[in-house]
Structure 1
Amino acid sequence: MDKENLENPVEEVSSKEVKKDFQGLLGSVKQFLRELLDIRQNTDLDATKEAIIADIPFKGHTSWILICSIFIASIGLNANSTAVVIGAMLISPLMGPILGIGMSLAINDIDTLRRSLKNFTVMVVLSILTAYLFFVLFPLRDESSELLARTAPDIRDVLIAFFGGLALVIARAKKGTMASVIFGVAIATALMPPLCTVGFGLAINNYQYAAGAMYLFCINTIFIALATFLVLKLLRFPMVRYVNSQKRRRIARIASLVAILVMIPAGITFWDALQESLFKKQAQNFISEKVAPYQFSGSGRFMEDFTDIEFNGGKEPFIELVFMGNETIPDNVIATWNKQKNEAEGFSRLRDAELQIIQGSQSEQGNQLKYVEELYTSQKNELLGKDEKIKLLESELKRLNKLNAKQIPFQEISAEAETNYDNLEYLAFSNAIRTDFKKLDTVSVFEAKWKRNAKRVTIVKESKKLHNWLKIRLKDSTILLTEIIQD
């Protein structure tokens, strides 16, 4: 009994020491994280506010800087020069009014909000107008890859804009502004190139390009303003005070309403971009796992580079697969792919998507040729800078051109031959592979069977005449003719 009483105090003291040590460790971790992540201690509220307000006005020097940056960005996009586009981003003053919008919403400053919106609108209109005039008047208007990259935003653009905005406002709020961060954000968020692309789309009457680029610009604007709003709220910037309490409440409600209106499209945009990104990821997985491994027994080929995946906002999404060559995909294989798309685990987002199969066959070589020519025309500009894809497509086009040139209208030929050659019993046709051991070539071979009672001299003469006629009629000097003479 005495032993038990002696042991209990030791256990109780040990437990208290462990608990005390754990609390001390937890306190040290909290202190470390506070020192590591807390940005309030080194924030200059007044200087930050003054710096943001100073960048809002748009007149004099700022307007000319904007016009110059628009021209530089337009030339860079037209010349497909990434370095020039980056230079235009660095000198663009577009970021000022966007930060002003976010700050004014955070501190209920209605006057600053009004000035920010006014200057922002003027900047956007002037930028689009300048880019439009450049592309209308400039003789070269190639659809470069730099331009096309700004026409189809996705979820990555949303994340870049939001975290770029966070970095920008945090750098602005720090005592001794970090210029390198500001320059980096200007490059990453890329406000100027989308506006130039809007002007380009309007100049060439391609409103799809213009709409896609404007959508990207709106994403950047909304999420930079939203990041500004959130950071300034976190830093507890002082609210603007009004003498009239009723006016103060009204302005606070207006600012809150505008902030909510900004957040709603931001949330919708993020959600839509996320859904599209997940859909395309599953579609790519489906193609790589189920379609690409398909083994052709003949000369068929899956043109993976020309796969088209369209989400269309969730309405009528489709996956277009392109196959070329003389071999068609069997119906049971297509049915299997559809079943896997609809039922296999990991492809739940593809159930409503239509699987479109575009393929050719030997009897439709003309249609293949037409399709490849259209594909080449429509995607030529999109493939700029991708030489290997262009070479692949040109090789396919050359092959189909060659096949198309050797197409034989056999029904017409046989009818004409029957009329012109009385001793001809039948005419046959086939393609043959010929080689001189240096290269392979496809030649057209005709087989003529002559009637039993025809004289040998007549057969030789008519065979030569038939052979020459076939060469002229089909415009192919490589045509071969074999004779079958009945005994």
Structure 2
Amino acid sequence: MSGLLDYLQLHQGEESKSKVMESVRSQISFRGANLWILACAIFIASVGLNVNSTAVIIGAMLISPLMGPIVGTGFALGTYDFTLLRKSINNLLIATFVSLLVSTAYFYLSPFKEVQSELLSRTSPTIYDVLIAFFGGLVGVIAITRVEKGNPIPGVAIATALMPPICTAGYGLATGNMSYFLGAFYLYSINCFFICIATFFVVKFLKYPSALVDSKYEKRIKYGISILIVIMIVPSFYLAYNLFNQKKFTKSAEEFIQKEFDNNGYTVIYKKINYNTTPKSIDLAFLSKKFTDAEILSYNKMLAKDGIFGAKLTIRQNNTDLKSEILSEINKNDTNISEKDIALTKIRQELDNYKITDSTLLKEINILYPTIGNVSYGKIEQYPQTDSAKLQFVLVYTGQNIDENRIKTWLRERLHEKNVVLIKETEK
């Protein structure tokens, strides 16, 4: 048993407590360079959320100095250092205000205000976000207290994700969407709070010296922390429960559609499942099948039998309304052209430069020059002794008594090509 405890021992490789506290204090302040770095990181994260780029968001999280005052607050609570606590909270409030200001200004001025998936995922925190923040905070503070810091710190910055939610809160303010603002700011608060609590537990476990003598204050702080933990966790449990019910409803609705319609050969061309309406809704449209009111009523009764309660099935059979819905969805998709689509378009454009699309060219050559044999032609790049390449038309042929000057002149006029090269291939 003692051998196992040695493996779990946190005191091995621990940095001296005075050095750790000095390092923590030095990273709390948000003045000068730290404030500029934060503002730039917020701007980068906002751009990443705006264009739905995960890589850009990760980059912003890596350069963000937001962890400093949060960890400082955890150390201050763990050592009951109220001077350090006041300084940490003040700097965290400054950092939060600057972050909200920069992100709100960016999204207010940005012409693109569509809600991307990266933005949307930061508006409904759940208990899983609490767990990520807590265990991410544990890893971060354990790394801070080591002599060899190792590489967990960048991972903690990414996992705990402080930047995206505060930027999403700025988006909510800029667009006047208070539900987005409140959801994202709650997620940001969860991350800050549970990183701080994780730091508090590690500091207590490693027995950092207390700056407080009176045990009454110590008990009050512990009670206060316990109450705050409950206050922060309870809404996230509710949101997690709501998310579970939403996924369960969506899965049940999909299974119902599969069983009652797809398996009977009815082609579904439009499907929209909405959990957040009252009542919950399932909207469908079909390629050719038309349903009577009695059949639709019968399917609605089947929903409850399949465990889908409080939901209404609507089958769209009005072509005008249906067309407008489908066109709306297509337009939404068109606004989100991926990098892959852009790259494919560029490749197609480059390939078009080399293609000879005229299908009658070969027939005309055989008619005008009956003595010509096998013919191959295409465009290739010529590299003269300059910095640029030129495209030229090349025709490879076999045959006898071919007037090359004449065929060159004809090809220049026929194809509107200045550079035409003829190559006679030796017959085998």
Cα distance in structure 2, aligned partners of 1:292 and 1:216: 36
Q: 2:319 — aligned with what?
A: 365
Cα distance in structure 2, aligned partners of 1:367 and 1:142: 23
AA of the residue aligned to 1:354: G
AA of the residue aligned to 1:184: G
Q: 1:322 — aligned with what?
A: 283
Q: 1:475 — aligned with what?
A: none
Cα distance in structure 1, aligned partners of 2:172 and 2:236: 25
Cα distance in structure 1, aligned partners of 2:239 and 2:175: 27
Match of 1:134 among 88, 106, 112: 106
Correspondences of 1:126-275 after superposition (within 5 Å):
126-178=98-150, 180-242=151-213, 248-249=214-215, 251-275=217-241
Q: Does 1:124 align with 2:102?
A: no
Residues 166 and 231 in structure 1, CA contact (< 8 A), matched pair in contact too: yes
Residues 28 and 88 in structure 2, CA contact (< 8 A), matched pair in contact too: yes
Cα distance in structure 2, aligned partners of 1:386 and 1:150: 23
Match of 1:309 among 275, 295, 311: 275
Secondary structure at the aligned position of 1:184 is classed as helix
CA deviation string 1:160-186 (max 9, x = no partner): 2121111111111222222x2111110
Secondary structure at the aligned position of 1:261 is classed as helix
Cα distance in structure 1, aligned partners of 2:212 and 2:73: 18
Correspondences of 1:411-422 after superposition (within 5 Å):
none
Shift of 1:189: 1.4
Match of 1:103 among 72, 75, 93: 75
Correspondences of 1:472-483 after superposition (within 5 Å):
none
Match of 2:14 among 4, 24, 43: 43
Cα distance, 1:234–1:383 mapped onto 2, change above 3 Å: farther
AA of the residue aligned to 1:369: K
Correspondences of 1:66-85 after superposition (within 5 Å):
66-85=38-57
Aligned pairs, how many?
A: 334
AA of the residue aligned to 1:165: G
AA of the residue aligned to 1:233: K
Shift of 1:59: 1.0
Cα distance, 1:381–1:49 mapped onto 2, change above 3 Å: farther
Cα distance in structure 1, aligned partners of 2:334 and 2:85: 42
Q: 2:392 — aligned with what?
A: none
Cα distance in structure 1, aligned partners of 2:235 and 2:152: 26
CA deviation string 1:97-152 (max 9, x = no partner): 11122222222222222111111111101101011112222334343333233223
Q: Does 1:332 align with 2:298?
A: yes
AA of the residue aligned to 1:63: L
AA of the residue aligned to 1:83: A
Cα distance in structure 2, aligned partners of 1:283 and 1:382: 29
Cα distance, 1:52–1:382 mapped onto 2, change above 3 Å: farther
Cα distance in structure 2, aligned partners of 1:250 and 1:384: 61
Cα distance, 1:226–1:357 mapped onto 2, change above 3 Å: farther
Cα distance, 1:274–1:298 mapped onto 2, change above 3 Å: closer
TM-score by length of 1: 0.62
Superposition RMSD on alpha carbons, in Å? 2.9
Structure 1: unaligned runs, 5 residues or longer: 1-29, 243-247, 311-315, 343-352, 389-487
AA of the residue aligned to 1:274: A
CA deviation string 1:1-39 (max 9, x = no partner): xxxxxxxxxxxxxxxxxxxxxxxxxxxxx2332122221
Shift of 1:68: 1.2
Residues 270 and 326 in structure 2, CA contact (< 8 A), matched pair in contact too: no
CA deviation string 1:415-456 (max 9, x = no partner): xxxxxxxxxxxxxxxxxxxxxxxxxxxxxxxxxxxxxxxxxx
Cα distance in structure 2, aligned partners of 1:319 and 1:302: 20
Q: Which has the larger radius of gyration?
A: 1
Cα distance, 1:35–1:212 mapped onto 2, change above 3 Å: same
Shift of 1:82: 2.0
Shift of 1:334: 2.2
AA of the residue aligned to 2:268: R
Shift of 1:298: 6.5
Cα distance in structure 2, aligned partners of 1:141 and 1:203: 9
AA of the residue aligned to 1:301: V
AA of the residue aligned to 1:368: L
Moved over 6 A (4+): 381-384
Residues 60 and 163 in structure 2, CA contact (< 8 A), matched pair in contact too: yes
Structure 2: unaligned runs, 5 residues or longer: 342-428
Cα distance in structure 1, aligned partners of 2:179 and 2:167: 14
Correspondences of 1:3-82 after superposition (within 5 Å):
30-44=1-15, 45-82=17-54
Cα distance in structure 1, aligned partners of 2:196 and 2:101: 24
Match of 2:63 among 76, 86, 91: 91
AA of the residue aligned to 1:34: L
Equivalent pairs: percent with the same residue? 33
Q: 2:391 — aligned with what?
A: none
Cα distance in structure 2, aligned partners of 1:119 and 1:253: 26
Residues 303 and 321 in structure 1, CA contact (< 8 A), matched pair in contact too: no
